[in-house]
């Protein structure tokens, strides 16, 4: 006879991304900048000021609202904002690893 175990409802195992370019911490700074820390400990700054304020900013134009910009959070190691806006972490990682800064 098999013993049946009851798993809690709506439960999923904790996923811990281990790629070095995965972001582990993000904090908003002034002037549309972010302080970023990656899985391997690399830290630096992502400057989104040109990306956000450009006439060709596209989906990033909504981030001109500083309240929305400051609602930045992490979603599976990617920098994300409400409205499904996100940045590719591997692109930021390469630039920040090289020079300490990424400019969008």
> Which CATH number fits the domain that encloses residue 32?
3.30.2020.10
| pLDDT at residue 17, as a whole number | 54
Range of the domain at 45: 23-103
18 part of a folded domain = no
pTM for the structure as a whole: 0.79
User: What pLDDT, on the 0 to 100 scale, is given for residue 28?
Assistant: 97
Q: How many domains does the chain have?
A: 1
pLDDT at 20: 72
- Determine, yes or no, domain membership for 60: yes
Positions of E strands within 1-104: 23-29, 33-38, 43-47, 73-75, 78-81, 85-86, 101-103
- What is the reported pLDDT for 10? 43
Q: Residue 7: its pLDDT value, please?
A: 47
Which stretches in the chain have pLDDT values below 70? 1-19
- Answer yes or no: is 50 within a domain: yes
Q: So what's the pLDDT on residue 11?
A: 44
């Amino acid at each position: 006879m098999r013993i049946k175990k009851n798993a809690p409802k709506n439960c999923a195992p904790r996923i811990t991304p281990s790629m070095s370019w995965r972001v582990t911490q993000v904090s908003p700074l002034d002037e549309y900048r972010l302080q970023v820390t990656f899985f391997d400990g690399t830290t630096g700054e992502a400057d989104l000021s040109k990306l956000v304020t450009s006439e060709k900013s596209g989906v990033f134009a909504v981030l001109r609202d500083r309240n929305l910009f400051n609602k930045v959070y992490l979603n599976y190691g990617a920098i994300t904002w409400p409205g499904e806006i996100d940045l590719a972490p591997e692109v930021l990682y390469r630039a920040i690893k090289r020079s300490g800064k990424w400019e969008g």
